[in-house]
């Protein structure tokens, strides 16, 4: 009951509080959102930023120094490593609609397939990440990309569906 209360408070009050980039008052909004998020999930690291309109679930893991961008829509089973930067309006979907072949219609949802963003990942604006995907350490995903498969560490990926454009460690 307590978790539900703080979750609702984070979604409502968190969307009304100023974004963290606003001088002076922004730090208050940021602090309140992090305070509320820690009451929802025990897995919120130090030095995190949960932006205006963002929220967490009880099983959300948010590593030290990471952030959830403005108006991001997260999912159950989301694991965010350390120092992850996330642009605004990113979407995460750990389940899909389940198709019942016998009745030939969609009924309910699949099991949760967790999404993992490893350490030092950077997601651009409006990136969509689908169920079961891992974005490897040090990778960058370009704005508007739809990530349907794992991204190897230190890669630059973009497009719909997202494809690896280059390895960031290559010259």
CATH code (residue 59): 2.160.10.10
Q: Which residues contact 164 (CB under 8 A, 6 or more apart)?
A: 151, 152, 155, 156, 157
Mean pLDDT of 162-169: 96
CA distance 81 to 143: 20
Half-sphere exposure of 98 (CA within 13 A, CB side): 10
What pLDDT score was predicted for residue 60? 96
Please report which helix (H) or strand (E) contains residue 141, including its range: strand 140-141
Q: Is the confidence at residue 106, as pLDDT, over 90?
A: no
Mean pLDDT of 44-56: 95
CA max distance for the chain:
59
* Residue of 4, 21, 97, 165 with catalytic role: 97
What pLDDT score was predicted for residue 37? 95
Mean pLDDT of 20-49: 90
Q: Is the confidence at residue 162, as pLDDT, over 90?
A: yes
Mean pLDDT of 5-28: 84
Percent of the chain with pLDDT over 70: 99
| DSSP conformation class of 17 | S
Q: Pick the more confident residue, 28 or 68.
A: 68
CA distance 104 to 147: 28
Domain that holds residue 105: 2-167
What pLDDT score was predicted for residue 140? 98
Q: Is the confidence at residue 122, as pLDDT, over 80?
A: yes
What pLDDT score was predicted for residue 27? 85
- In terms of Cα–Cα distance, which of 63, 55, 129 is closest to 90? 129
Mean pLDDT of 113-132: 98
What pLDDT score was predicted for residue 14? 82
Under 8 Å between Cβ of 77 and 113: yes
| Residue 97 appears among annotated catalytic residues | yes
Mean pLDDT of 65-88: 96
What pLDDT score was predicted for residue 81? 98
How many domains are there within the chain? 1
């Amino acid at each position: 009951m307590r978790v539900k209360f703080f979750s609702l408070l984070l979604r409502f009050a968190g969307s009304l509080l100023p974004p963290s980039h606003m001088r002076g008052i922004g730090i208050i909004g940021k602090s309140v959102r992090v305070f509320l998020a820690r009451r929802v999930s025990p897995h919120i690291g130090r030095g995190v930023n949960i932006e205006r309109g963002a929220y967490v679930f009880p099983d959300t893991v948010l590593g030290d120094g990471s952030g959830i961008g403005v108006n991001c829509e997260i999912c159950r089973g989301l694991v965010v490593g350390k120092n992850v930067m996330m642009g605004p309006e990113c979407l995460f979907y750990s389940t899909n609609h389940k198709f019942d072949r016998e009745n030939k219609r969609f009924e309910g949802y699949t099991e949760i397939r967790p999404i993992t963003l490893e350490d030092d990942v950077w997601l651009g604006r409006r990136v969509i990440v689908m169920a079961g995907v891992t974005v490897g350490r040090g990778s960058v995903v370009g704005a508007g990309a739809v990530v349907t498969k794992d991204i190897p560490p230190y890669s630059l990926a973009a497009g719909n569906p997202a494809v690896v454009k280059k390895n960031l460690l290559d010259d």
